Amino acid sequence: MEISKEATKYNPLFKRNRTFYSKTISKNLRDTLLPLPWKIWPYEGKLLIIVIGIWSILGLFILGSASWWVANKEMGDWAYYLKRQIIWFIPGLTFFYFVLNTNIRDLLKISKIIFYLFILLIISTIFFGSTVNGSSRWLILGPLQIQPSELIKPFSILEAANLFAHWNLVKNNKKIISLSTFGLLILLIMKQPNLSTAGLTGILFWIMGLCGGVKFSSLLSVASLGFASGCISIISNEYQKLRVISFINPWKDAQGNGYQLIQSLLAIGSGGLFGQGFGLSTQKLQYLPIQSTDFIFAIFAEEFGLLGSTLFLGFLVLFSYLGLRIAIKCRNNYTKLVAIGCVTILLCQSIMHIAVATGTMPTTGLPLPFVSYGGNSLLSSFFVIGMLLRCSLESTGFIGIFSVRKSFY
């Protein structure tokens, strides 16, 4: 006997059953897609996935606001950059889902091959890379632009964890080989030249070494060597030297090397307490260069003001707190160091981006994770956050998707 739509429309019992079945289906689908049933996720993992969801979705709105004028002027489509960023979300979420369902130990096993492959690609950029703003960071493969120095970040975390997890038990020859490889990576990135990413990579290795038990005196020596290398790079590259000089006094060359920083400061200052309002920035109207990547925080600060900027910094504090809580709960040194590395790379990159926009450090080319336009940065960020969430799942004793499902059902 068929039930007519008219009969079910006013039948409360049928409505309750339909609601029950729809909730059951959605719950089963969610638990099928997730590597671990949602109800037994650690609270840090639950909060973190919500934080990243908000961060990435708001990032699309901020990017759309920052880029629409230039996109309409140069490409004839106000949503040009926004559409391309949304397209990059598909492989980004694919990487995220893959990492979330892969044991950290399995990632550690395959990381070395991929790590060395990306080092070879970085060497290739020095000789065959596409040069933009005096730096050869990209390889052109058909319609794609690959930035190996960006994509290598997750595997740098994994390789550092492989080395520092049991530092005192590692043989000296392995220590020398691994540390030499890390130093070579930093030098190659500096050679592009890309001083900001080289500095970020050095900070990552330094913090993970500190947490892994390397002597502080040794780390202090390495930090001094890194600082000296940075100074040599600045002296050797004219455009880096000009950036440092313009950072010290941007108004000395207001229409030249200091132009970007001055326009960024004007954008932040004009935001006031509450901002100009979403979409109402004036500096993005081709006054502030590179407004959708390296200086996107300045547009955000202009539109949302001091209050919005403070909330964003609080958002980063919450992310750091959750990440460190995950690291503390990890059951072994490997996952603990991977979690610390993930928090370090995303947090330090965000802080360095904001520092550039506010004139706290010299102008560099670091994107704001999940916000700035760029597929390579998005892929790297999703991979990193997937590893951090995976560490959270493994803190519950979760080892493999199939064995856990067997025990729960």
Give mean pLDDT, residues 285-295: 89
- 387 vs 359, higher pLDDT: 387
Residue 398 has a CB neighbour count (10 Å cut-off) of 18
The pTM is what? 0.88
Domain residue ranges in the chain: 43-399
Q: Which residue has the higher pLDDT, 235 or 113?
A: 113
What are the tokens at 184?
A: 């070579």
Which residue in 219, 187, 224, 189 sits closest to 206, CA to CA?
219
Report residue 275 as tokens: 């901002």
- The DSSP output letter for 230 is H
Q: For residue 204, give Cα distances in angstroms to 148, 223, 347.
A: 17, 12, 11
Instruction: Render pLDDT for 314-363 as a digit per residue (tens, 0 to 9).
Output: 999 999 999 999 999 998 999 999 999 999 999 999 999 999 999 888 87
Our measurement of the distance from residue 284's CA atom to the centroid of its chain's CA atoms, rounded to an integer in Å, reads 23
Q: Supply 20's token pair.
A: 């029950």
Sheet containing strand 130-132, strands side by side: 130-132, 135-141, 144-146
Element containing residue 138 per DSSP (H, E): strand 135-141
Q: pLDDT, tens digit, for every residue of 140-183?
A: 887 788 999 999 999 999 999 999 999 989 999 999 999 999 99
